[in-house]
Amino acid sequence: MKEKILKLLRQTDDYISGQDLCEHLGVSRTAVWKAVNALKAEGYQIEAVQNKGYRLTGVPDVLTEEEIGSHLDTSWAGCRVEAYERISYSTNLRAKELAGRGAAHGTLVVADVQEGGKGRRGREWVVPPAGTNIAMSLLLRPSLAPSQASMLTLVAALAVRKGIQEITGLEARIKWPNDVIFGRKKVCGILTEMTLEEGEIQCVIVGIGINVNNESFSGDLEEKATSLAMEGGRNYSRAALVAAVMKAFETYYAELLADGDLRNLTAEYNSCLTARNETVCIMAPDGVWEGTSRGINAGGALLVEHADGQIEEIVSGEVSVRGIYGYV
Ligand code: BTN
């Protein structure tokens, strides 16, 4: 009910009468009044004026089920939201647990503070201060072969970039396969994990960590990380961003499922790919070499041109691609 009230209040800048709220929700005036008071206690500013009704004038930056749900405008992504103020382990792991219990395609686990965040290549994903970042994991049950699953990671990067653009107006870029960056600094990391059953995908968990309202980073991260607030000079609603990323994810995912590959997304992906047509350094288990990045193909592989003009397809996995001057 709180989520529905927030959604209705958000639909207009004007007042919405108590009577209208009751009719939309099919509940009594007292029930509406109680729910409005509960929202106020959570930090929402809701003006109540006699003969006019209710108006939303201030919203706390919280990652609750109600706040996220009231922004969501999707058909399946985030169909169920499990939100944590603090999770002692990883949202990816929690989503995997839910998948094992039969949770639906589109289930979303979100945490304000994630204490056991996992990064790629066995690294940890550092715990930022409460109220600043997004840690979320989307459970998917795609009808794809396991060999196609890595493309979901590229889809997620596109969705994060689009969500950021919609909420902040900022233009992020992508470092193949799935880091979202500004300049030489990372604003979002994505960890995609797949569970197989008898050779078929049982579920894929797409874990997304976004630095949203951090004012600064210290230590090692100072040179490598940035946040949306640092780029845009103001704070942003994390719940609105979660919803925008989910909306964009649905669109890109539909393209992938329809074609079975990224043929309709390669142009967009390549247009925001960093270091395209520049020299990159390929760090593979069997050696390090340099070539010119030519963008991705429909399978999501990075095409890198050797000095003799020969093109090599780099598939994500053990390989790391860097600019010749460092991370980007
Ligand atoms: C990377 O190394 O760049 C990937 C980082 C992925 C972090 C996110 S935060 C939400 C989800 N839960 C995790 O434990 N990891 C991912």
Ligand 1 atom nearest to 121, measured from its CA: 2
pLDDT at 318: 56
Mean pLDDT within 211-230: 95
State mean pLDDT over 75-103: 97
Let me know: does 238 contact 81? Beta carbons within 8 Å: no
- Least trusted range by pLDDT, from 145-159, 243-257, 278-292: 278-292
Q: How far apart are the first and last CA of the chain?
A: 46
154-163 b/e with 16+ CB inside 10 Å = b? bbbbbbbbbb
Confidence of residue 310 (pLDDT cuts 50, 70, 90): very high
What's the mean pLDDT in 19-46? 88
Alpha carbon distance 222, 66 (integer Å): 34
Three-state secondary structure call for residue 181: strand
pLDDT on residue 26:
87
Q: Are 188 and 160 in contact (CB under 8 A)?
A: yes
Query: What's the average model confidence in pLDDT over 64-80?
Result: 96
Does residue 87 have a pLDDT over 80?
Answer: yes
**pLDDT above 80 (res 75):** yes
Atom 15 of ligand 1, residue of closest alpha carbon: 118
- For residues 61 and 46, the answer to whether their CB atoms sit within 8 Å is no
Q: Where are the alpha helices (DSSP H) in the chain?
A: 2-10, 18-25, 29-41, 65-71, 91-100, 150-168, 221-224, 228-232, 238-259, 266-271
Region of 289 on the Ramachandran plot (φ > 0 left; ψ -120 to 50 alpha; else beta): beta
Q: List pLDDT tens digits, range 152-204.
A: 999 999 999 999 999 999 999 999 998 999 999 999 999 999 999 999 999 99
Higher pLDDT, 128 or 250: 250
Tokens of 139: 């459970």
Contacts of 311 (CB under 8 A, 6+ apart): 294, 303, 304, 305
The pLDDT tens digits for 90-147 are 999 999 999 999 999 999 999 999 999 999 988 888 888 899 999 999 999 999 999 9
pLDDT of res. 31: 85
pLDDT at 127: 80
Ligand 1: nearest atom to the Cα of 117 = 14
* 322 vs 138, higher pLDDT: 138
User: Average pLDDT for residues 70-83, to the nearest whole number?
Assistant: 97
pTM, rounded to two decimals: 0.93
The encoded tokens of residue 317 equal: 């996995």
Q: Which residues line ligand 1 (CB under 6 A)?
A: 90-92, 114, 117-120, 123, 125, 135-137, 189-191, 207-209
State residue 319's pLDDT score. Answer: 65
pLDDT value, residue 326: 59
What residue owns the CA closest to ligand 1's atom 10? 135
Quick one: pLDDT at residue 324?
53
Amino acid of residue 48:
A
Mutation pick for ligand 1 pocket among 86, 88, 92, 181 (CB with most ligand atoms within 8 Å): 92
In the chain, the percentage of residues whose pLDDT exceeds 90 is 77
Phi, psi (rounded to 5 degrees) for 317:
145, -115
pLDDT for 285 beyond 90? no
Residues above pLDDT 70, as percent of the chain: 97
pLDDT for 300: 96
Mean pLDDT of 37-42: 91
Average pLDDT value for residue range 20-35: 85
State the average pLDDT for the chain.
Answer: 93
Within 10 Å of residue 85's Cβ, how many Cβ atoms?
12
Atom of ligand 1 nearest to the CA of 136: 10
Choose which residue among 160, 179, 208, 211 to substitute to test ligand 1 binding: the one with the highest number of ligand atoms within 8 A of its C-beta. Answer: 208
Ligand 1 centre from 122 Cα, in Å? 10
Mean pLDDT of 212-220: 94
pLDDT(234) > 90? yes
Both tokens of 285, joined, read 């288990």
